[in-house]
């Protein structure tokens, strides 16, 4: 496949597949909301400086960093759109598990994941459109494919916000029922999203091969700088070691499954987005590898310090 032809790929999966993906996405948001409780946001009072630094790094810092990376590396428009799309997604639940393995502040990690998930229901579609508009090639691409911004915003907000608020309402009025439903629904949605990520990597393997090692290197650089941004937010906010690690994982681990579903369900019938799908699929694979490497680094450092 000619790399120049990648921007002509159309991601049309058919109506039935798109509906199934939207149901999976709604289930994921509903399951996340079922598990949200007031204490998940306690860091806003107990450690506001660290908490706010993490929120700002996720919601503003990472998309801004991504746009700067796009200006620096000048990737193909669809690849740049995929990078911005992922950067605008909330933190992934994988970050909580990596925080646990990496001896980070897991309570802060859970708090930031909860916050970004709530925020995502309201601002993710707006963020995608706003940050994409700041980079001329992606702005031109969205204009070229005739994206209906209003329809995109309304549909995405409904898919994200409605199940989130329904889940939070059920958790508030019937916490016991919410607790019983949360785990099985989270497992179902998590497995489904994992299948989607793996499927995206397999489906768009020809795209990845056509682009060569450059696209893999770009994902590695992007993800590595995201981890550094989280660590830097911890330094600026004068967070302790465990909190800095939590911020590192939260900013570097994004919900790429959400990005892929948004891409395929809301933009799937539009041409020119093959590179975006390839980026989203690769990110979903690489950020776990990068996160595990950080876990190993943190634990090695702990062993080294214990022998000093």
Highest average pLDDT, of 56-65, 149-158, 174-183, 196-205, comes from: 56-65
> What is the SS3 assignment for the chain?
CCHHHHHHCECCCCHHHHHHHHHHHHHHHHHHHHCCCHHHHCHHHHCHHHHHHHHHHHHHHHHHHHHHHHHHHCCCHHHHHHHHHHHCCCECCHHHHHHHHCCCCHHHHHHHHHHHHHHHHHHHHHHHHHHHHCCHHHHHHHHHCCCCHHHHHHHHHHHHHHHHHHHHHHHHHCHHHHHHHHHHHHHHHHHHHHHHHHHHHHHCHHHHHHHCHHHHHHHHHHHHHHHHHHHHHHHHCCCCHHHHHHHHHHHHCECHHHHHHHHHHHCCCCECCHHHHHHHHHHHHHHHHHHHHHHHHHHHHHHHHHCC
The total of structural domains in the chain comes to 1
Q: What is the pLDDT of residue 1?
A: 47
pLDDT digits (tens, 9 = 90+) for 8-36: 555 555 555 667 777 777 787 787 777 66
pLDDT digits (tens, 9 = 90+) for 36-85: 667 666 666 777 899 899 999 999 999 999 999 999 999 888 889 999 99
pLDDT at 265 over 50: yes
Q: Quick one: pLDDT band at residue 243, thresholds 50, 70, 90?
A: very high
> Does 274 reside within a domain?
yes
Q: What is the pLDDT of residue 2?
A: 47
Task: Look up the domain containing 95 and give its range.
Answer: 3-301
* CATH number of the domain residue 99 falls in: 1.20.1530.20
The pTM for the full model equals 0.80
> Does 67 reside within a domain?
yes
> Does 306 reside within a domain?
no
> Does 218 reside within a domain?
yes
> Does 270 reside within a domain?
yes
pLDDT digits (tens, 9 = 90+) for 104-155: 888 888 788 878 877 777 788 888 889 999 999 999 888 876 666 677 777 7
Mean per-residue pLDDT over the chain, rounded: 80
> Does 307 reside within a domain?
no
Q: What is the pLDDT of residue 197?
A: 65
> Does 269 reside within a domain?
yes
pLDDT at 294 over 90: yes
Q: Quick one: pLDDT band at residue 95, thresholds 50, 70, 90?
A: confident
């Amino acid at each position: 496949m000619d790399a120049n032809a990648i921007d002509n790929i159309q991601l049309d999966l058919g109506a039935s597949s798109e509906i199934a993906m939207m149901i999976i996405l709604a289930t994921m948001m509903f399951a996340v909301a079922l598990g949200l409780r007031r204490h998940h946001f306690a860091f806003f009072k107990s450690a506001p400086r660290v908490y706010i630094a993490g929120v700002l790094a996720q919601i503003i810092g990472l998309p801004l960093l991504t746009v700067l990376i796009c200006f620096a590396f000048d990737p193909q428009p669809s690849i740049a759109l995929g990078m911005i799309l992922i950067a605008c997604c909330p933190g992934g639940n994988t970050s909580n598990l990596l925080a646990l393995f990496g001896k980070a502040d897991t309570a802060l990690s859970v708090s930031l994941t909860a916050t970004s998930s709530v925020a995502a229901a309201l601002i993710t579609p707006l963020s995608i459109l706003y940050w994409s508009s700041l980079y001329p090639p992606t702005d031109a691409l969205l204009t070229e494919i005739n994206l209906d911004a209003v329809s995109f915003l309304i549909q995405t907000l409904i898919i994200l916000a409605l199940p989130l608020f329904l889940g939070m309402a059920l958790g508030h009025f019937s916490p016991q029922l919410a607790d019983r439903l949360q785990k099985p629904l989270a497992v179902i949605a998590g497995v489904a999203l994992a299948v989607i990520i793996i499927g995206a990597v397999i489906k768009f393997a020809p795209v990845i091969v056509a682009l060569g090692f450059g696209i893999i290197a770009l994902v590695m650089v992007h993800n590595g700088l995201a981890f550094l941004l989280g660590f830097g937010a911890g330094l600026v906010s004068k967070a302790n070691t465990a909190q800095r690690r939590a911020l590192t994982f939260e900013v570097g681990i994004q919900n790429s499954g959400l990005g892929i579903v948004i891409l395929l369900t809301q933009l799937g019938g539009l041409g020119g987005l093959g590179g975006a799908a390839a980026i989203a699929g690769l990110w979903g694979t690489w950020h776990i590898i990068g996160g595990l490497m950080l876990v190993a680094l943190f634990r090695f450092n702990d062993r080294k310090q214990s022998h000093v």
